[in-house]
Structure 1
């Protein structure tokens, strides 16, 4: 039974190692020749990196094989695993569609292909037999010029049936020199009615308060409770939700130990700031969302009550979930109704 919502998952990092290796082997991809066997590939693909920049290089490996022709293959397997192994009822997939276009074309020709990529992802998500509500978040990217990023905002606004929001991704070392540009893009996105999230306050390099007012949700944001807790009351007033991805911070070196997240959760709960627990790059981490839940509980970072609050927050802040309470609440109410009927029937036959 699907119960959970995943708000922060990258299409490029969502392919689990076994699926990617199988595709590379089946298509005789040159990457296969770099590894002696699957174990060597998995070890390379999932090991921790020294920095966010080094970690992001792995996305390039997947982006080169996620083309217009192959995206349905990967999306089918992604959604199948999300439903069968993760009990997901809702999934927002984020990615930069421009980076799935034909790299042999000119910039303007690639921009023209962006809409096609978004529609391919949309149709592939709809033809899967697994009942998961899905939507796309289009990532603006720090490695791309302004014109490309603005074009992706336009595509997001024009294809609202497929896209629920925009994001900002890429190396946060590049934020500062282009902050005015990104603020302008977010203002433009809001003028077109788009919802917004963005990778911000993930590492010490990504702490830019100028962009905060334009985000409905904050991708990661762990540096705020860790080093800028005075900002938490403002986030609570603005009902901004943090998308916390526990495994990521160990893979990128942002945190040395998962126990450091206890401060993040404690301060956010104390200030009334919502948290949605997410996976970020489930394939790169070789983990699934229930494992993230279990890990936080096992290390006494959160309680079961706090976990439930985070699960509720995920549906409450989901950009394209239009069905009120999360499925677990609906099931609970249904069972209560059934028990009530049963009790009334028992009472009617008792002497």
Structure 2
């Protein structure tokens, strides 16, 4: 049995359309009235958008219903699907906790409530029926005030039992005027032992080399091999991994066809830069991680050897995977050792 690691999945975009629509029908009269028929909702929710900013607006639809009361409902179904349908052994969930707090509260009150959100997500992710190793990545946001982003990083530092890293999200085109702020926050995080990733070099408008030295992984990063391949040797030397999410780039209008990703993989493999294949927003895309693997294979973007290398890289770069080996190696060692009791049961 193959077991996989998912390093880049947003909590807001992880809810599959059917689960979200059913929640509207049962718990939210306004949204149920807006989307009375499921096929129409699925078409609206999963259709491609023209730009990354337009695509990210969909997150606000989910964020408004992912309240502290509703989060366990969504996370249980997320973990169940990841275990049963995707064979995940490891999952990192990323989100901005501030955006799950009540909007009517003051900024200070919402900052105080973020800790409760982290605890709810952490406890709900530990579903005994579906044993997956999980951890959280807390996202700073390009459109939130500096005080909130600072509080998010400090919260991540104070919850090592639930949080493994920080990220910056909100559309990489919007970082430009705040680079010094994000550099300072990443530097603070690294000085406190916190691991780091960041949405960077996803689009042609989001290429900021100033942030690269502070990132252990790069969220997307596809513009590096496409537009700035001269940076790849340094990424390899620093053992930085790209989190490549194939379906995303067509949902956001960033790429026109899948063949463009072949350049990304070929140049990274040639330079010795690791890639972890991820889903990003499995619900918005209505796809699961094994589909991303199969799609890359059937379109000859990668071969099986390269797929295995990417799967191994995902566990190697996982921020909170507790073992030195991926689960396939652990299972092999277990299966190759005949348990003592088996000798008496099977003469």
Question: What are the Cα deviations for residues 262-307 of structure 1, in whole angstroms up to 9, with x where unaligned?
Answer: 0000000000000000000000000000000000000000010000
Q: 1:181-234 CA deviation, whole Å, 9 max, x = no partner? A: 111111111122110000000000110000000000000000000010000000
Other-structure match for 2:108? 108
State how far apart, in whole Å, the 2-side matches of 1:71 and 1:337 are.
41
Alignment partner, residue 341 of structure 1: none
1:83 aligns with 2:90: no
Structure 1 SS opposite 2:251: helix
Distance 1:92 1:2 in 2: 18
Query: 1:204 aligns to what SS in structure 2?
Result: coil
- Structure 2 counterpart of 1:217: 217
Q: Is the 8 A contact 1:76 1:128 kept in 2?
A: no
User: What displacement does 1:332 show?
Assistant: 2.9
In structure 1, the residue matched to 2:229 is 229
- Residue 120 of structure 2 is matched in structure 1 by 120
Match of 2:93 in 1: 93
Q: Please report how far the alpha carbon of residue 174 of structure 1 lies from its aligned counterpart in structure 2 after TM superposition.
A: 1.1
Where does residue 138 of structure 2 map in the other structure? Answer: 138
Runs ≥4 in structure 1, deviation > 6 angstroms? Answer: none
TM-score by length of 2: 0.96
- Aligned twin of 1:168: 168
1:151 aligns with 2:155: no
User: TM-score, normalised to structure 1's length?
Assistant: 0.95
Size of the alignment, in residue pairs? 341
Aligned equivalents of 1:337, 1:66: Cα separation in 2? 45
2:187 matches 1:187: yes
Q: Which residue of 2 aligns with 1:25?
A: 25
Following superposition, the deviation at residue 337 of structure 1 comes to 4.7
Distance 2:313 2:284 in 1: 25
Q: CA RMSD in A?
A: 1.5
- Any gaps of 5 or more consecutive residues in structure 1? 339-351
Q: Deviations for 1:34-59, whole angstroms, at most 9, x for unmatched residues? A: 23510000000000000000000000
- Deviation of 1:324 (Å): 1.4
Equivalent pair of 1:217/1:242 in contact (CA under 8 Å): yes
- 1:246 match: secondary structure: coil
Counterpart-to-counterpart distance in 1, 2:321 and 2:102: 32
